[in-house]
Structure 1
Amino acid sequence: MHVVLHAKVIRDVVKGQVGDKMLSLGVKPLNDTLGGGVEEGSSVAFVGSMEYDNVILMHQAVFEALKDGKRVLMVDFRQPPSTLLRELENHGVDYEQFLDKSLTILDGYSNLYGQGVHGGKNVLSNPLDLGITTAIIRELLQRENYDLLVIDDVTAQYTLQTNPKAYIKAVVRLVNSVKLLGKTTFVAVCSEVFEKSDLAAILIPFDYVIEVSMGVIEVKRSLQPLSVVEPKFAYMRTRKGIIPVKEHYQSLEGLKAQLRAGENGTIWLKDVRVQIVDESAERSLIEAIYDYLGPEKGKELLYIWGKKQALGYGKHSKRHTSSVRDALEEVFRFTLAGGGGKLELVELSDSVVIIRGTNLFPSGKGYHYPFHPNYAGFLARFLTEFTGERWEGEETKCEAMGAEYCEFVLRKVK
């Protein structure tokens, strides 16, 4: 009876401490994968390689927490705090506005490598004394009522240990004790430095394990069920921090950054060869197709052309989201960024989707036949791949024929 009562008390305490609140990690696809972010009161390991992209992502998440009003205690073992601040500023994280207000940086670097003994209220006197170090961290965390403990990073001290196993035990105890206090913990770990068994051991207490390396973010462990089949996506490291590749390409700035001209008359968008096509050339091609094949066959060819262009897009999108609406909105953003015009969702049901388009490429007025059946073909193929059910569509209104906007009606085929 005593054991049952004790277990109930613990469950009630933990439920009260953790609650249902979520912390944003500052990257939308990552938040979406996790169902909104990570639970408050949980522990998160950001695992990466020597490029330290995991560290940058962790600090983006900390920055989000600070902007959300959280109080943060940060322990810096990797470099002097002043260097840390300069490094992060180059990646869009400006901590200066929060220092001495809601952010405290505990210097665990100076007395590891500096000459003499460095003092001060925010300086760890002997970071290698694990018992004292962890006691100071826990005492500060609780006394000053911080919401979030951040360690940048545990790898630096691991390399200095004569007894790595004891160090791992100390880290595990610290993370678990902070969790028991109902505080959130963010820790950066460099997987290339740890022995394989040591890496597995140090990750044991973490509720979330997020790997950030070589251009890919992947959720390895999560408290809650993941919302996607494939919990990983590509990213880029920029002056604005870690940004999903899709988001980068959905901006004019991102497209310009990826364009390059070759000496042999080629233009490349990253690793894809492209050509600049003006509207008059595209219109001439469409008109030539109608002139040669006639209205019905011409429309059919343009429709099949659009379906061909969509090959693989729906299947790829399905791995990253389960929402038809979100998947279509992503297509719309790419269309807008690429100069294809503006698409908007008008109606969405299990059997019918209606999409409105304005300023579609190519534009033009006064033509007898629709200019954009390829858009209808693309959207139909995309929905077919995404849903696993057959869809067909048509352009029912077209700006080129004098309508105020283009309209695409897509229907599920029974």
Structure 2
Amino acid sequence: MKTFRKYLNLFCISLGASCIFKLAMIKDVYYDDMQAAFNATNVQMGLLITFFAITQALAYLPGGWLVDLVPVKYLMPVGLIGTGLLGFWEATFPSYEVLLVIQMGYGLVITLMFWDAMIKGTRMLAADHAQGKIFGMLEGVRGACATAASFGSVWFFAKLGEGMSGLRSVMIYYSVILCTVGVLVFLFMEKNEVEGKVNAKQALQGLVQVAKLPKVWLAGGIVFFGYSFYSGLGYMTPMLTNVFGMSATLGATVGTIKQYMIAIFAAPLGGMLADKMGSRVKFLRYVMIIGAVIMAAFIISPSNEKTVALGIALMLLSSAVTYMMRGTYYSTTAELGISVTMTGAAAGVLSLVGNTPDFFSSVLYGSMLDLFPGAAGYKAIFGIMLAFALCGCLCAVLLGKTLKKESMQKGE
């Protein structure tokens, strides 16, 4: 594949990935306006994500089977355009019951058609030795596109009077982007020569075969603990404002840097370092150790106005480490020896295991703040993050030993 075409494909995939979750998660940004538009209680607002997450969990493995059966070129556009069409429906402000159906539709379409296809499509853009770089670039470009798209949505929201009309404009805005990107992916994404070579039975057999491999579950464990670590990142800004005494304005500034700007640079850098090291698994082991060390420093450091600079530095370092993890932990399928034809199956297992923290992480971290008021609650969160990092490191160590044993058995 020519370099320009490859990076055009990567940009389209990244742009789609940056926006495809925006509609399902729109309450995170426009909570009050959405609550008013659908006359929903706080519990009902919470159920929107519950229905979405449950549907996703049920669709990960079937999505892995489907992406090994149908070329990515066809699946991703259906996922993007299907999500956009659901967004247009949501913009009509139907009843709450219909909104739940739409949320379930998001979970099915995004997971079955897009998510595993995104992972496989990205893998096919680079040789096995450059998987870290291509996945790191995916995460970095995704972060940049998400930032630009979010600012665009805010502009539309304000331009059209905020409230319900502004919310409707945001829904339409994201829907138009998704449908447009879906068309671009269909036009520019190329079929890999190995795609479309298996039938439904063979794809199912491949899924079962991959699901029996302990090394795939260990790789899923790396994603699980890495994502659990990432889920705690959002509590660092409130700690700096509530405990270190940092101003709200400065908190918003460094929070934006942490959430968006760091990802743009850290994820590609992590991917390139992993490729240079020659093993994404080994790189993840080291990065997770560094993450654990940073959390330990957070726990033992004094929390007051005199140490706010240290707190900011630790937060930005932890953000960089986290996005290096995120930019790398889906890039291990080639190193595992999984063929391109079964990458979808592996992605399904990794996604099923890796995204499980959505069901418990927020409740777990939030409960620490309720149980331990003040600085103790945040330190408890960072203690849990430290444990997650060490567990992820253990998975990486065990996976490395498994791969080394396989290599010795093959006489490589």
TM class by smaller structure: under 0.3
TM-score (norm 1): 0.22
Q: Which has the higher contact order (CA 8 A, sep 6+)?
A: 2
